[in-house]
């Protein structure tokens, strides 16, 4: 401890990294086995089987040894060939970011971009695919976290599949917190991670790769091999008798194993329901407190993150700093285009508990009141959040 040490937060209600489940923290303290220890090889195969179960997938997953940005960049590098036209769907900062990778590998990047408080319409995607039959790959960010909005992935996936195109889906901050499954959306590469709704620390990427995507990667002479960006290097790593391309992150695999046990034992429906209820209570609370949601319509607001528009004249960074120091509550800022305009409350994994919505509403409304914002009613916000929780309890 130094004189300037900052006290730990009382509660971390961010949009990732998130507070890990206690069982995950215990798993992180396990002995670090040699990666070719038969016990680790068996565990690695079992963890892959658990991911496949959680994915409801007909094929084994691929686990890449780096946080999900690795999975996303690897998807672009592997699936997109030099001659490809790519349609990138942009409703926020992550969708936009994927386009920079796609442009690096594609012949041409076509973007459909909507305001960052709106979502992509499946009809608009169908219209572009009809006009541009040369498009080979479509990329979608399901939950653009810096906006807290959910794109209609099922409808968009159906349109992309009907047109016979390959689909890349970033479901990093939605998988595990709501119903979004790789084969149900028709994803050819589906990227998620353990560090959002599964309640793990950052460190791994979890991918589903379809048979069509494996074929395309095999035919793409520029797809990375013997590389940190390679997906194909890891294709058979889930088989206990296959070598690893390089040493997997043993402790992160232990953590993921524990997180999947938590998820599968509680049951996905129950996990999704508590994410949804927490977000519903939070939305009711912030609006009753006198604030606006960032999302243009409440029905596109995410069940895993509530983005709250910050009133004119309030310095968002100062607001979060005040909430952190006065109440010990850590919240997330916006990013890039949404930075300074909104504050985000995460409902992910351990923090997808309805009572945390009350904490978040009290903290954000209390912080704004302390900064002199007009028209803020902390009590009304707290009461509204509680009402949603109590009604759901029956
Ligand atoms: C968190 C997240 C990622 C991974 O990026 P980070 O470096 O962990 O921020 C990718 N896509 C989305 C939509 C995310 O929310």
pLDDT digits (tens, 9 = 90+) for 64-108: 999 999 999 999 999 999 999 999 999 999 999 999 999 999 999
Mean pLDDT of the 216-237 span? 97
Atom of ligand 1 nearest to the CA of 68: 4
- CA gap 316, 276 in Å, rounded: 26
The whole-number pLDDT of residue 363 equals 98
Residue 25 lies in a domain: no
Confidence grade of residue 187 (pLDDT, cut at 50, 70, 90): very high
374 pLDDT exceeds 60? yes
Question: Ligand 1 mean position to 86 CA, how many Å?
Answer: 21
Q: Do the Cβ atoms of 299 and 343 come closer than 8 Å?
A: no
Residue 290 lies in a domain: yes
Domain boundary among 264, 283, 315: 264
- CA gap 136, 325 in Å, rounded: 50
Confidence grade of residue 240 (pLDDT, cut at 50, 70, 90): confident
Kindly state whether residues 260 and 143 are assigned to the same domain.
Answer: yes
Per-residue pLDDT tens for 103-149?
999 999 999 999 999 999 999 999 999 999 999 999 999 999 999 99
Atom of ligand 1 nearest to the CA of 146: 15
305 pLDDT exceeds 70? yes
Question: Ligand 1 mean position to 74 CA, how many Å?
Answer: 14
1 pLDDT exceeds 60? no
Atom of ligand 1 nearest to the CA of 141: 13
Per-residue pLDDT tens for 309-343?
999 999 999 999 999 999 999 999 999 999 999 99
223 pLDDT exceeds 60? yes
Kindly state whether residues 281 and 221 are assigned to the same domain.
Answer: no
Question: Ligand 1 mean position to 68 CA, how many Å?
Answer: 6
Question: Ligand 1 mean position to 191 CA, how many Å?
Answer: 10
Domain that holds residue 10: 3-18+268-393
Residue 26 lies in a domain: no
Question: Ligand 1 mean position to 144 CA, how many Å?
Answer: 9
Q: Indicate the top mutation candidate among 95, 145, 307 to test ligand 1's pocket, ranked by most ligand atoms within 8 A of CB.
A: 145
Mean pLDDT of the 162-183 span? 98
Closest C-alpha among 93, 138, 99 to residue 116? 93
How many independent structural domains does the chain possess? 2
Question: Ligand 1 mean position to 206 CA, how many Å?
Answer: 12
Determine which residue's CA is closest to atom 7 belonging to ligand 1. Answer: 69
Ligand 1 pocket, residues with Cβ under 6 angstroms: 16, 67-69, 94, 141, 143, 145, 170, 172-173, 196, 202
Question: Ligand 1 mean position to 247 CA, how many Å?
Answer: 24
Kindly state whether residues 254 and 280 are assigned to the same domain.
Answer: no
Question: What mean pLDDT, rounded, does the chain reach?
Answer: 97
Q: Indicate the top mutation candidate among 15, 17, 66, 68 to test ligand 1's pocket, ranked by most ligand atoms within 8 A of CB.
A: 68
Atom of ligand 1 nearest to the CA of 67: 8
Question: Ligand 1 mean position to 204 CA, how many Å?
Answer: 12
The domain that holds 317 is classified in CATH as 3.90.1150.10
Residue 58 lies in a domain: yes
Domain boundary among 264, 294, 319: 264
Residue 23 lies in a domain: no
Mean pLDDT of the 44-57 span? 98
Kindly state whether residues 296 and 239 are assigned to the same domain.
Answer: no
Determine which residue's CA is closest to atom 11 belonging to ligand 1. Answer: 172
DSSP state letter for 269: H
Question: Ligand 1 mean position to 172 CA, how many Å?
Answer: 6
The whole-number pLDDT of residue 337 equals 94
Residue 24 lies in a domain: no
The whole-number pLDDT of residue 3 equals 62
The whole-number pLDDT of residue 212 equals 98
The whole-number pLDDT of residue 394 equals 87
Domain boundary among 236, 264, 292: 264
2 pLDDT exceeds 60? no
Q: Indicate the top mutation candidate among 93, 139, 170 to test ligand 1's pocket, ranked by most ligand atoms within 8 A of CB.
A: 170
The domain that holds 185 is classified in CATH as 3.40.640.10
| DSSP H stretches of helix in the chain | 22-28, 38-55, 69-79, 93-105, 122-131, 153-162, 182-185, 211-219, 250-266, 268-288, 316-327, 354-370, 378-393
Kindly state whether residues 345 and 225 are assigned to the same domain.
Answer: no
The CA-to-CA distance between both ends of the chain, in Å, stands at 47
Residue 240 lies in a domain: yes
Determine which residue's CA is closest to atom 12 belonging to ligand 1. Answer: 172
Q: What is the CA radius of gyration of the chain?
A: 21
Kindly state whether residues 212 and 360 are assigned to the same domain.
Answer: no
Q: Indicate the top mutation candidate among 70, 72, 172 to test ligand 1's pocket, ranked by most ligand atoms within 8 A of CB.
A: 172
Question: Ligand 1 mean position to 269 CA, how many Å?
Answer: 24
- CA gap 91, 160 in Å, rounded: 17
Kindly state whether residues 58 and 178 are assigned to the same domain.
Answer: yes
Q: Which two tokens stand for residue 82?
A: 């030099």
Q: Measure Cα distances from 239 to 59, 62, 255 in Å.
A: 13, 11, 20
Question: Ligand 1 mean position to 147 CA, how many Å?
Answer: 12
Kindly state whether residues 250 and 339 are assigned to the same domain.
Answer: no
Kindly state whether residues 128 and 246 are assigned to the same domain.
Answer: yes
Kindly state whether residues 105 and 46 are assigned to the same domain.
Answer: yes
27 pLDDT exceeds 90? yes
Kindly state whether residues 128 and 254 are assigned to the same domain.
Answer: yes
For the chain, helix, strand, coil in percent to 5 are: 45, 15, 40
Mean pLDDT of the 264-284 span? 98
Kindly state whether residues 86 and 224 are assigned to the same domain.
Answer: yes
- CA gap 245, 118 in Å, rounded: 41
362 pLDDT exceeds 80? yes
Residue 51 lies in a domain: yes
């Amino acid at each position: 401890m130094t004189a300037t040490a900052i006290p730990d937060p009382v509660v971390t209600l961010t949009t990732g990294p998130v507070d890990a489940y206690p069982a995950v923290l215990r798993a992180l303290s396990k002995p670090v086995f040699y990666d070719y220890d038969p016990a680790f090889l068996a565990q690695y195969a079992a963890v892959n089987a658990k991911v496949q179960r959680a994915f409801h997938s007909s094929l084994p997953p691929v686990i890449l040894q780096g946080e999900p940005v690795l999975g996303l960049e690897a998807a672009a590098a592997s699936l997109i060939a030099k001659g490809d036209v790519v349609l990138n769907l942009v409703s926020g900062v992550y969708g936009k970011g994927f386009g920079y990778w796609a442009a690096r590998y594609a012949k041409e990047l076509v973007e459909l971009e909507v305001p960052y408080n709106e979502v992509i319409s499946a009809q608009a995607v169908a219209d572009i695919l009809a006009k541009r039959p040369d498009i080979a790959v479509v990329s979608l960010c399901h939950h653009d976290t810096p906006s807290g909005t959910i794109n209609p992935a099922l409808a968009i996936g159906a349109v992309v599949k009907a047109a016979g195109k390959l689909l890349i889906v970033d479901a990093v901050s939605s998988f595990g917190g709501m119903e979004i499954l790789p084969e149900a959306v028709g994803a050819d590469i589906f990227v998620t991670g353990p560090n959002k709704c599964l309640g793990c620390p950052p460190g791994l990427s979890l991918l589903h790769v379809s048979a069509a995507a494996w074929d395309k990667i095999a035919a793409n002479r520029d797809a990375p091999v013997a590389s940190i960006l390679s997906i194909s290097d890891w294709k058979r790593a889930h088989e206990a008798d296959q070598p690893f391309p390089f040493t997997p992150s043993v402790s992160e695999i232990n953590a993921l194993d524990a997180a999947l046990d938590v998820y599968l034992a509680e049951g996905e429906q129950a996990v999704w329901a508590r994410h949804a209820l927490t977000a519903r209570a939070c939305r009711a609370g912030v609006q009753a407190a006198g604030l606006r949601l960032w999302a243009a319509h409440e029905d596109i607001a995410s069940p895993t993150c509530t983005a709250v528009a910050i009133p004119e004249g309030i310095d968002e960074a100062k607001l979060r700093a005040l909430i952190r120091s006065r109440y010990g509550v850590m919240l997330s800022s916006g990013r890039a285009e949404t930075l300074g305009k909104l504050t985000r409350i995460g409902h992910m994994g351990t923090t997808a508990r309805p009572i945390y919505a009350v904490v978040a509403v009290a903290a954000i409304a209390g912080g704004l009141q302390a900064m002199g914002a007009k028209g803020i009613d902390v009590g009304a916000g707290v009461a509204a959040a509680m009402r949603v929780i109590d009604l759901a309890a029956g």
